[in-house]
Structure 1
Amino acid sequence: MSLRSVRSVFVPVVARWRAASPYALDVAVAAIVLFAVSLQWMFPDEGDDPLSLGGWLLGAATAVPLVWRRRAPWASGWAVSAATPAQALYHAPPPDVMYGGMVVLYTMAALARPWQRRLMLTGWIVGVVSTMQHQADKEPFEYAFHLMGIVCAYALGMLARVQRAYTTELEDRARRLEGQRTADTARARAEERARIARDMHDILAHAVSLMVVQAEAGPVVVRKDPERAEATFDTIAETGRDAMAQLRRILGVLKEERPDGGVTGRMPQPSVAALPLLVSQVGNSTGLHTELRTTGEPCPLSSDTEIAAYRVVQEALTNTVKHARASRAVVELDWTEDGVTLTMTDDGRGPSAPVGGHGLIGIRERAAACGGSAETGSGPDGGFRVVVRLPVAADREGALG
């Protein structure tokens, strides 16, 4: 079995064990160290060192405090640090390998504060050198062996600390990114709901206003001019059908699957190119004298700006039909290098007309969402005027950024 296979089996088991009981691993480590320091009593013929109960108790004192190595690393570290030189000086038997000390240094490097782990490392280096000075039979290589053991244990603890900090940072970053993604999704959904609400309001308000005007004139026309009355009712029906088609177009954001497994695309949204038809339809349906004027050279607009331009003109004409009691309405498109300015003017009652509700608010919101602006107020010759400025190739994200 390869090393990678062993790790793939062993590491998940340790992770599950640690997650199930945070201190189970500490107890296991303490038990393993206690077993290691007890090997000299289990196999007394392997060496010539004297054995005594006191020596075993001092060896056990280097293992038992490890049970609390994560709950109280500083206290358990000092307990092991005191028992280890005592066992070495007692010399019955002396510690061959400082198992508990290496675990303590690893734990301090991984969990303790900077001054604590530095003080502990310094204390162990000084303690090892000082203790071995009192033992005449120690060889020079034993100094290097013990010192390398404690330095390596400390280095592994620092590596574990860095790895844990790196993992924590990655987890925090993932949580932040997930939170940001959730917020972006919620914001996108809210913007989409607001856009659909504005479109539905504009479509229904425009269509219903035209239908109401035609319906109010219907009874009078029926008595005086039956042929014109028939055309009036045809206009009402056509306006209703057009409104239904536009509503289906908006709700088509959720695409439907075709029988052959494909996906039906969305119908094209209205744009600036549809404004002449819109203006003429309003005039033909309501008897309002409408006019569209264009100056400058048209330039490309983003899809959101195209839709916004159409909708603000539609809403302005709807307000004129519903509230202004006007006889004439003029729509002007002034194209420049920076964008387009749409001016809608009528000769009605002006700002005193009851134009409350969501219409003018929707016009301002659409302009702002495309990075533009909207102004409303009295016209130069009376009546009411709406001026909307939309930039070239601006999109919603660029405007909000």
Structure 2
Amino acid sequence: MRLWPPRPFAVDTLIALAMVCVAVLLGQESVTQGWPELDGPAYALVVCAHLPVAFRGRAPLVVFGAVQAASVVYITAGYWPVVCTFGPMLALYTVASVRQARTTALCAGLLVAVWVYAGFVSESDAMASVVAQALLFSAVLWRFGYLARRSAELARELRAEQAERARREVAEERGRMARELHDVVAHHMSVISVQAGLARFVFDSDPATARGALGTIADTSAEALDELRRMLQVLREEDLRDTDGTPAAPMPGLARLGDLVERVRAGGVPVELRVEGTPRPLAPGVELCAYRVVQEALTNILKHARHARATVELHYRAHHVTVGVTDDGEGVIPDRVPAGGGHGLIGMRERAKLYGGTISIGPRSEGGFAVRLTLPTSARTAGRGDETTA
């Protein structure tokens, strides 16, 4: 059985009942303190001066006025004033914790006035002490209430700030996922478009080639769907687990460059893959960044330089990894590098900057186009990336 935390009203009710019990027990000491013995009306006033505290969270000003009124009647009747001090003091603290300074000051002044009135009614010989106590207790209660109110305000501001920060992070994550979707869809749809055109062109004259193109379309579309599912799953699940409880497949990395190159070859672009250095596991984000940049570069070749030859180079260094994609096409043409930079080129630069790398994108002096990305594999060098133009 789960025990839920008590509601504030239940807590306030318990506090009010406890204060009533303490006041009643204290009232039994009235005679020993030189005051009249409490009778039925006196005990009723004691209850009225404390029990309304149970509603202090709902109507603090009304409760403060009610307990003060009961206290004044009790004091005027000539009973021991100390018995009815707990309820008014707690009511003042409550008002100070939820209301502004002007309202709180008026309530504190009223408590001081009632306290001093009790001193006059009892004909106390130490009025200076009574006034000092009234001022001291009221000031302390006001201060504690003010601190509680400020703490609550700061907590609300902090929650609002955290909610705003979370909203910005969600927006940034959605933007990153949008770029991921662009990369996946653009590359795979380019391959599918090329293969579909080839299949239609040779459908009657070369059925074997047409079947091969259709097979490539089926494999490429299946892989695209798998990657889309993985990214949508990242948005829906925090633990990256499939519905059957098994771990989700990892996002593509450098180990899958060979498959990527094969798909581009099947699209009609001769591509050579060269690897230097000893392959080693890298941070998932670094591998995904490098993979996506190569994918985007090859997609651009499929779109704009289909008759060129391409080379993909991967170099593993001690503290960084470098990937380059070059082709021997006709270089820059208007559609290849749009005036605004293109979503693909922007995505490359943003990825490089995100992981502290450098990237150069542009035509080669000997003809063709080149993309070169360098990513640090050490956390000490991450975050210092920039971009250049070849």
User: What is the TM-score when the length of structure 1 is the normalising length?
Assistant: 0.65
Question: Who is 1:202 aligned against?
Answer: 183
Report the alpha carbon displacement of residue 23 of structure 1 after superposing the two structures with TM: 4.7
Question: Who is 1:33 aligned against?
Answer: 72
CA distance 1:28–1:242, change in 2 (3 Å): closer
Are 2:298 and 1:317 aligned? yes
Are 2:293 and 1:293 aligned? no
Report the alpha carbon displacement of residue 344 of structure 1 after superposing the two structures with TM: 1.5
Where 2:61 maps in the other structure, the secondary structure is coil
CA distance 1:245–1:24, change in 2 (3 Å): closer
Quote the RMSD (CA, aligned, Å). Answer: 3.9
Indicate which of 319, 344, 349 corresponds to 1:359.
Answer: 344
Q: Distance in 1 between matches of 2:122 and 2:313?
A: 97
Question: Who is 1:166 aligned against?
Answer: 147
Where 1:231 maps in the other structure, the secondary structure is helix
Q: Is the 2:216–2:263 contact (alpha carbons within 8 Å) kept by the matching residues of 1?
A: no
Indicate which of 373, 383, 394 corresponds to 2:368.
Answer: 383
Report the alpha carbon displacement of residue 305 of structure 1 after superposing the two structures with TM: 1.9
Are 2:269 and 1:279 aligned? no
Report the alpha carbon displacement of residue 211 of structure 1 after superposing the two structures with TM: 1.5
CA distance 1:195–1:39, change in 2 (3 Å): same
Are 2:7 and 1:7 aligned? no
Q: Distance in 1 between matches of 2:17 and 2:279?
A: 68
**Larger helix proportion, structure 1 or 2?**
1
Q: Is the 2:354–2:383 contact (alpha carbons within 8 Å) kept by the matching residues of 1?
A: no
Are 2:1 and 1:20 aligned? no
Q: Is the 2:16–2:53 contact (alpha carbons within 8 Å) kept by the matching residues of 1?
A: no
Where 1:232 maps in the other structure, the secondary structure is helix
Where do 5+ consecutive residues of structure 1 fail to align?
A: 41-68, 89-93, 99-141
Q: Distance in 2 between matches of 1:8 and 1:398?
A: 58
CA distance 1:339–1:37, change in 2 (3 Å): same
Q: Distance in 2 between matches of 1:392 and 1:218?
A: 42
CA distance 1:305–1:180, change in 2 (3 Å): farther
Report the alpha carbon displacement of residue 328 of structure 1 after superposing the two structures with TM: 1.0
Measured against aligned partners, the alpha-carbon deviations of 1:13-70 in whole angstroms (never above 9, x if no partner) come to 5263464262551354155235414529xxxxxxxxxxxxxxxxxxxxxxxxxxxx94
Are 2:284 and 1:265 aligned? no
Report the alpha carbon displacement of residue 228 of structure 1 after superposing the two structures with TM: 2.3
1:112-261 mapped onto 2 (5 Å cutoff): 142-143=125-126, 146-253=127-234, 254=236
Report the alpha carbon displacement of residue 220 of structure 1 after superposing the two structures with TM: 3.7
Q: Distance in 2 between matches of 1:295 and 1:322?
A: 28
Q: Distance in 2 between matches of 1:243 and 1:148?
A: 84
Counterpart AA for 1:374: I
Q: Distance in 2 between matches of 1:9 and 1:337?
A: 73
Q: Distance in 1 between matches of 2:253 and 2:195?
A: 26
Answer with 1 or 2: which has the greater Rg: 1
Q: Is the 1:299–1:337 contact (alpha carbons within 8 Å) kept by the matching residues of 2?
A: no
Report the alpha carbon displacement of residue 347 of structure 1 after superposing the two structures with TM: 1.5
CA distance 1:32–1:175, change in 2 (3 Å): same
Where 2:160 maps in the other structure, the secondary structure is helix
Aligned residues: 311
Where do 5+ consecutive residues of structure 2 fail to align?
A: 1-11, 20-50, 80-101, 386-390
Q: Distance in 1 between matches of 2:58 and 2:103?
A: 14
Report the alpha carbon displacement of residue 319 of structure 1 after superposing the two structures with TM: 0.7
Where 2:275 maps in the other structure, the secondary structure is strand
Measured against aligned partners, the alpha-carbon deviations of 1:230-289 in whole angstroms (never above 9, x if no partner) come to 2222222222222222222222323599xxx96343221111111122123212x12312
Where 1:345 maps in the other structure, the secondary structure is strand
Q: Distance in 1 between matches of 2:356 and 2:346?
A: 15
Q: Is the 2:183–2:296 contact (alpha carbons within 8 Å) kept by the matching residues of 1?
A: yes
Q: Is the 2:108–2:139 contact (alpha carbons within 8 Å) kept by the matching residues of 1?
A: no
Q: Distance in 1 between matches of 2:179 and 2:52?
A: 57
Where 1:332 maps in the other structure, the secondary structure is strand
CA distance 1:221–1:73, change in 2 (3 Å): closer
1:82-101 mapped onto 2 (5 Å cutoff): 95-96=121-122
Q: Distance in 2 between matches of 1:159 and 1:299?
A: 66
Q: Is the 2:15–2:54 contact (alpha carbons within 8 Å) kept by the matching residues of 1?
A: no
Task: Give the % identical residues.
Answer: 35
Report the alpha carbon displacement of residue 175 of structure 1 after superposing the two structures with TM: 1.5
